[in-house]
Amino acid sequence: MVAKILVIEDEAETREIFLRCLSFENFNAIGAKDGETGIELATQQHPDLIVCDIMMPRIDGYGVLTAIRKHESLLSVPFIFLTAKVTMADLRRGMALGADDYLTKPCTVEQFLSAIATRLQRSKDIKTSLRRHESQIAKAPSFSNIFPDCPKLSPVFQFIDSHYQQPIHLSDVAQAAGYTPAYLTNLAQSHTGKTVKKWITERRMAQARQMLKNTAHSIKQIAEETGYADPGYFTRQFRKLHGVTPKVWRSHS
């Protein structure tokens, strides 16, 4: 299947160069002359990847990205910014809004195509992983339904679901998902209202409740099997979330 690439660039010559390069590489290339047109085409055409200039009249690149990310069907579409210059503040702002990469103009054709290929492959890998994970869910009991449906956070929830029995640090989750810790923190909070640490606890407690209800394991065993080396800390966390100790919860389940 031919990938559809949307290029939003107000400089006609630059836009046409990119579109020709993409067409030559057998991509389905679509061009937009400004941010408003780009948003319209994105919602109509549902591209596989978007390349967008930052400095544009009326609606700049940040405005385009903000508008696009409001559409659920476009949440997981890779988004690459084009900019004549990039500062750390620019990077932080773009990543906080959900940008996946930056390209500094002028860039070579090789750099342009390489960035696109990398992001398309990353998107493909995530979708493959999701399908594999969904297959595993169908074959065996899982608590993955405690996680919200959020494409940008799917690899995060997958990692938590697979590693909750082990010590997990924010940096581990961020690296597995391909995000920076700071960006992941903002992303989780803005999309779910909860921190990554909170979601790790939610997953562990779901497993703990299942074990308390369906097994005769001791509190210490359950703590260890849900990622808590200290049974006392596990009990405090359980009580904080449920209002009662694991022992009391078990007696009433």
CATH 3.40.50.2300 placement within the chain: 4-123
Pick the CATH number of 4-123 from 3.40.50.2300, 1.10.443.10, 3.20.20.70, 2.40.50.140: 3.40.50.2300
Contacts 24+ apart (CB under 8 A), 102-107: 103/51, 105/14, 105/53, 107/82
Q: Tell me what pLDDT residue 244 has.
A: 84
Give the orientation angle of helix 88-97 with respect to helix 61-68, to 10 degrees: 20
CATH 1.10.10.60 placement within the chain: 141-253
Q: What is the CATH number of domain 141-253?
A: 1.10.10.60
Per-run averaged pLDDT (10 residues), the chain, 253 residues: 94 94 95 96 96 93 92 86 84 82 89 93 75 50 70 91 91 90 92 94 92 91 93 91 86 72
Contact 238, 245 (CB under 8 A): yes
CA distance 146 to 91: 32
Q: Tell me what pLDDT residue 240 has.
A: 87
Q: Tell me what pLDDT residue 89 has.
A: 83
Cis bond leading into 106, ω under 30°? yes
The reported pTM is 0.56
Contact 82, 52 (CB under 8 A): yes
Q: Tell me what pLDDT residue 141 has.
A: 42
Q: Tell me what pLDDT residue 220 has.
A: 94
- Spatial CB neighbours of 172, under 8 Å, sequence gap ≥ 6: 159, 163
Residue whose C-alpha is closest to residue 81's, from 100, 108, 106: 100
